[in-house]
Amino acid sequence: MYEKKFLTPAICRAARALLGWSQDELARQAGVGRVTIADYERGKSELMRGNIALITAAFDAAGVEIIRQGQGGVVLR
């Protein structure tokens, strides 16, 4: 079974890398602060649910879908 909208700091970095986006670009596309992205990716802070939705929506709009599979696997497509 797949679960959409699963995001960890490592997945966030990987999705940005697939798109060739900087933290600044992701922040701009998602409508959140760059510090929000930077702190999350470094594990310094957690994201609020609304920011997770904005970030995953930005990835979705750019063509990167994040899907969690059973047994802890993740698919970026």
DSSP-derived letter for residue 72 is G
In this model, does residue 16 exceed pLDDT 90? Answer: yes
**pLDDT number for residue 71:** 59
**pLDDT number for residue 1:** 36
Q: Which fold has domain 3-76?
A: 434 Repressor (Amino-terminal Domain) (1.10.260)
CB contact at 8 A, 37 and 23: yes
What burial class does residue 5 get, using C-beta atoms within 10 Å of its C-beta: 0-12 exposed, 13-18 middle, 19+ buried?
A: middle
- Helix (H) or strand (E) holding 67, with range, is strand 66-68
Q: How many other CB atoms are found less than 10 A from the CB of residue 18? A: 14
- Helix (H) or strand (E) holding 74, with range, is strand 74-76
pLDDT in tens, 24-77: 999 999 999 999 999 999 999 999 889 999 999 999 999 988 877 765 555 666
- Annotated domain spans of the chain: 3-76
